[in-house]
Structure 1
Amino acid sequence: MTTHPAETVHDALREEPCEDAWWMPGPDGFAACALSSSARTVAEARRFTRATLEGWRLCSSVAEDAALVVSELVSNALRYGAGGGGKEPAAVCPAWLALTRQDGTVLCAVSDAGTTAPVVKVPDHLAESGRGLHIVDQLSDAWGWTPPDRSGKTVWATVSSVRV
């Protein structure tokens, strides 16, 4: 875990400080956040995304779509990819969230230690889960993942104010 000696943007953006996440603000179009395996992680990732995009002055519809996309990507990373086959680094930081922007488009990327590619499930309307990547597909302009290797993978999605 990385800590800062002084108050961080992480503490300023949140109502209550949390020691199990690391936040790097990005006024210049890049921001990153280490994700813990806490039950609060998905909500923290949504808050981080909204606050970052608000700071970048992107429209609220992009921020809300990106927050939902991040929510699904982080949920999947923690559920399927964070274990990393029992490697020690996964216990310290199961996943990373990075946001970068170019004009009105945001790239949301979640990296985890998992070595298997994401699987889009056939939707079961009665199931309690299994629709996350369908949501990502509907809200993003494009999405995909890096080829998994021993160090893991990154699942990414782009969200923009102009749909292509």
Structure 2
Amino acid sequence: MTTYPAEPEHDALREGAIPVAERGNGAAHGGWWMPGANDFAACALSGSACTVAEARQFTRTTLQGWRMCPGLADDAVLVVSELVTNALRYGAGETRRTLNYASPEPFCQAWLALTRQEHSVLCAVSDAGATAPVLRDRDELAESGRGLHLVELLSDAWGWTPPDRAGKTVWATVSARG
């Protein structure tokens, strides 16, 4: 089930973030980490080659800490992987071109937020892109373009906030199956 658009959340994800070095535990999942109640975690994502892997590890570690079932965690990790890949490919890259950054890799390309709900997790990725995601027609021979189909398959609902000058948030709710 696809649901869109939703209320803007991306500005709330940026408030109160602290650098990893100030956290005191030495774990490096992205450059920034947002503390909160036991049911919320967020991190900043750079545009480096290992960003998607870091997002998957952050998701898996967070969901294990929340004692979410392994099947839900596996699905959430795949959903996050696709959402982050799209944010870096289409959202953050668009901003980099628009702002004409001298550096090929600005520090924060996107934000990943996870919110634990009773038997599900809400995965949200915010980027500065101004275009809404597009669910392409299925093409079994295409080399790309299947990510949102995977998100649709693995999530209960997914959607995005209306893009504005600050960007957009693409989200998906993943539940335990069975």
Provide the TM-score with structure 2 as the length reference: 0.79
What is the 5 A alignment of 1:93-132?
A: 93-132=108-147
1:42 matched to 2:31? The reply is: no
Q: Kindly tell me: are residues 54 and 30 of structure 1, through their superposed partners in 2, closer, same or farther at Cα, counting changes over 3 Å?
A: same
Q: In structure 2, how many angstroms separate the alpha carbons of the residues matched to 1:51 and 1:2? A: 19
Distance of aligned partners of 1:21 and 1:5 in 2 relative to their CA distance in 1, 3 Å threshold:
closer
TM-score normalised by the chain length of structure 1:
0.86
C-alpha separation in 2, matches of 1:144 and 1:46:
20
Question: Percent identity among equivalent residues?
Answer: 65
Query: Is 2:170 aligned against 1:155?
Result: yes
1:61 to 1:82, Cα distance in 2 relative to 1, 3 A:
same
Structure number with the bigger relative contact order (C-alpha 8 A, sep ≥ 6) is 2
In structure 2, runs of 5+ residues without a counterpart are 1-17
When the two structures are aligned, how many residues end up with a matched partner? 155
Cα RMSD, aligned residues only: 2.2
Deviations 1:108-140 (A, max 9, x none): 000000000001111211111100000000000
Gaps of 5+ in 1: 15-19
The within-5 A match list for 1:4-153 is: 4-5=21-22, 7-8=24-25, 10-11=27-28, 21-24=31-34, 28-83=38-93, 84=95, 85-86=98-99, 91-153=106-168
Distance 1:99 1:87 in 2: 31
Distance 1:26 1:54 in 2: 17
